[in-house]
Amino acid sequence: MVDSSEPGAPSSPWGRTISRRLLVTDIAIVVVTVGLAQFIRYSLGWPSPRPGHGPVWDTVVSIVIAGSWIAALSINGSRDRRILGIGSLEYKRVFDATFSVFALLAITSVLFLLGIARGYLVMAFPVGLVLLVVGRWAWRKWLVRRRLAGENLLRSIIVGSPDSIQYMADQLRRFPYAGYKAIGVCLPRAQASELTEVAGLPVLGSFADVATAARSHEADSVILTSSDQLPPATVRRIAWSLETSPVELAVAPALTEIAGPRIHIRQLAGLPLLHVAVPQYEGSKQAAKSVFDVATAMVLGVLLSPVLLVTALVVRVTSAGPVIFRQERVGLNGKTFRMLKFRTMVDGAENRLDELLPLNEGSGPLFKVRDDPRVTPVGRFLRRFSLDELPQLWNVIRGDMSIVGPRPPLPSEVERYEPDVRRRLLVKPGVTGPWQISGRSDLSWAEGVRLDLFYVENWTLFGDLLMIWRTLRVVIRRHGAY
């Protein structure tokens, strides 16, 4: 959805409450971090580059840095209610504000030979940034729990045609943690007089009744869907009717599955045009992703080498057959490669596939059996914690896979792909990805495809980092692994 209102302070009581709590958390983290950086500076005995710089000078500098940091977090809209609880924009704004403050600090220190940047950049910048992100994550978990319990939601009226309302209502119910709760709908005049309910929601009136319905039902927001029956003049009148109320107006464009980084709004003679950037599958972004993949795989390979050796030994000792299972998978642009995994099934398990087909629990081309008799006891443990996937770090180093990407499909699955689904092959498959953090084996075929295509269309390096972090949490909790 594209919010028509300018970023600002949350207007609802719960919005103001969480904003204040975030502010207190941010202040505490910034003050402690900057104070700790100043303390360590003197503990290490770093000399001041200019005469007269002592504790008083550094205290003044710390106060200025802390104040600027807190102000930057506010100015950058990092506590805007509309970005809390979902997506990566909240974290991105925290990073942008923090980076801007310390970049300005470093430039000022160099230009005026103040010598104030070293200690703060070494200590306050990385530690403060991590603590701020962790603090936001903790409050996000609290907010999501409240939203899943039916609290802290924006009471919303959906405006449009029955079909567009049905789609929007389904999405809001599907993602309650996004913070919207549909309480009713407004339809074109003819349909409003004929229907009493759409998508399980009561009809509150026609387009002309939106403002009245919003006030009488204490709505927090009005969502305009992409309906052909909502011409510009009607949208404008609805917006004018809400001007004197605290109700937010949001417009859902016809485009779906497009993430924020690819969307830009430009004004053309008073007409807002929604520009959608073309997905980038080559060039500098892909080069940066490849460098990140190889570097991360090499570092993880070294750090996890004891785990790899122990796992290989356990697989070898507990069951007959090779330690490494090699399977043909389809990668970038349909090119096949041999994907590596620790063997979790009995040797020759693929030859028994036909006899298990009646037990298939998967949808679409996927084959899934929750209690697959071919899986060894050790294999179940490895799958539960995704340890069987670790050899794929070598696939990443070789360039066959990425750290983050769509699920690597089998050739038999690709043969049954519809044209739209083949877009999954426009990027390298990943060791982890949206399927890993959203249910793993519990996902249906349709949902897995939707998640993978969304990733293909909207991936960013920052998003990859968040996905890696979420993968660690999912693996520890063992959701959907069998």
Which residue, of 254, 275, 300, is where some domain finishes? 254
Q: Are residues 210 and 344 in the same domain?
A: no
Q: Are residues 116 and 168 in the same domain?
A: no
Tally of structural domains, the chain: 3
Q: Are residues 307 and 361 in the same domain?
A: yes
Cβ count within 10 A of residue 111: 8
Higher pLDDT, 441 or 348: 348
Cβ count within 10 A of residue 464: 22
pLDDT at 7 over 50: no
Q: Are residues 103 and 214 in the same domain?
A: no
Residue 356 contacts residue 348 (beta carbons within 8 Å): no
Could you read off the pLDDT of 171-197 as tens digits, one per residue? Answer: 888 888 888 999 999 999 889 989 999
Residue 5: per-residue pLDDT: 38
Model-wide pTM > 0.85: no
Structure tokens belonging to residue 199: 């998508």
Report the CATH number that the domain containing residue 169 is assigned in CATH: 3.40.50.720
Domain-located, residue 53: yes
CA distance 29 to 16: 20
Phi then psi for residue 104, to 5 deg, are -65, -40
Which residue, of 100, 126, 148, is where some domain finishes? 148
Which residue, of 238, 254, 270, is where some domain finishes? 254
Q: Which residue has the tokens 């998508």?
A: 199
Q: Which domain holds residue 209?
A: 154-254
Domain-located, residue 198: yes
Q: Are residues 350 and 447 in the same domain?
A: yes
Domain-located, residue 336: yes
DSSP state of 160: S
Q: Are residues 60 and 169 in the same domain?
A: no
Q: Are residues 140 and 158 in the same domain?
A: no
Domain-located, residue 291: yes
Q: Provide the pLDDT confidence category of residue 213 given band limits of 50, 70 and 90.
A: very high
To the nearest 10°, report the CA torsion of 461, 137, 476, 257.
-50
Structure tokens belonging to residue 308: 């790899």
CA distance 77 to 71: 10
CA distance 450 to 434: 10
Could you read off the pLDDT of 108-135 as tens digits, one per residue? Answer: 766 766 665 566 677 788 899 999 999 9
Domain-located, residue 166: yes
Could you read off the pLDDT of 233-269 as tens digits, one per residue? Answer: 888 899 899 888 888 888 887 665 565 566 666 666 6
Could you read off the pLDDT of 345-389 as tens digits, one per residue? Answer: 888 777 777 677 766 665 556 666 677 788 899 998 998 888 999
Q: Are residues 185 and 309 in the same domain?
A: no
CA distance 50 to 44: 17
Q: Are residues 178 and 64 in the same domain?
A: no
